[in-house]
Amino acid sequence: MPQNYPIVIVDDDLDDRELLGEVTQELRPGHELRYFVNGVELLKYLETTTEQPFIILCDVNMPKMNGIELLEQIQKTPFLKQKSIPFIFLSTSGEKRYVIKAYEYCAQGFFQKPSEIGELRAMLKLTFDFWAKCLHPHHPQIDVK
């Protein structure tokens, strides 16, 4: 996958954003990172950018618009849904109601944030490696003929 596809991190906790950014940069150094603190900010970006993000890593509990509400809006907006951006939840909460809602709105993954950096690194490596190989409508290796 081309390196110019940015990785999006959506989390209202500064420490979590920095940690996710640090590990992500280590695993995917060629990708730029885009940080947002809530769903409202990310929606504005997605509606106006010409970039095709590689993946969205999103917290659940955030102010203004939480992660579940954000994913619901993406799925309800044809322009955003067609972007087919992999959407992965990373949350301290593993509450069943959140997991159920996440998959109702077509999340591609839901993970509890690990307490150990090594676990986080391993989880993100598997996730990034999977999505780098997985074909989707905007993948550069798709035959457009």
Quick check: 1 pLDDT over 60? Answer: no
With respect to residue 138, please indicate whether it lies within any of the assigned structural domains. Answer: no
**Pick from 93, 45, 47: nearest CA to 67:** 93
With respect to residue 143, please indicate whether it lies within any of the assigned structural domains. Answer: no
With respect to residue 51, please indicate whether it lies within any of the assigned structural domains. Answer: yes
Total domains, the chain: 1
Query: The domain spanning residue 46 has which CATH number?
Result: 3.40.50.2300
What is the Cα–Cα distance from 47 to 74, expressed in whole angstroms?
A: 10
Query: Under DSSP, is residue 36 helix (H, G, I), strand (E, B) or coil?
Result: strand
**Residues 86 and 98: beta-carbon distance below 8 Å:** no
What is the Cα–Cα distance from 121 to 49, expressed in whole angstroms?
A: 28
What is the Cα–Cα distance from 73 to 16, expressed in whole angstroms?
A: 24
Q: What is the pTM of this model?
A: 0.92
With respect to residue 144, please indicate whether it lies within any of the assigned structural domains. Answer: no
The number of helices, as runs of H, and strands, as runs of E, in the chain is 6, 5
With respect to residue 43, please indicate whether it lies within any of the assigned structural domains. Answer: yes
Mean pLDDT, rounded, for 11-18: 96
Q: What's the pLDDT tens digit per position in 39-96?
A: 999 999 999 999 999 999 999 999 999 999 999 999 999 999 999 999 999 999 888 9
What was the pLDDT predicted at 3?
A: 56
Helices (H), the chain: 14-27, 39-48, 67-76, 78-81, 96-104, 117-133
What secondary structure letter does DSSP report for 82?
T
What was the pLDDT predicted at 121?
A: 97
With respect to residue 115, please indicate whether it lies within any of the assigned structural domains. Answer: yes
With respect to residue 2, please indicate whether it lies within any of the assigned structural domains. Answer: no
What is the Cα–Cα distance from 20 to 138, expressed in whole angstroms?
A: 24
Range of the domain at 31: 7-133
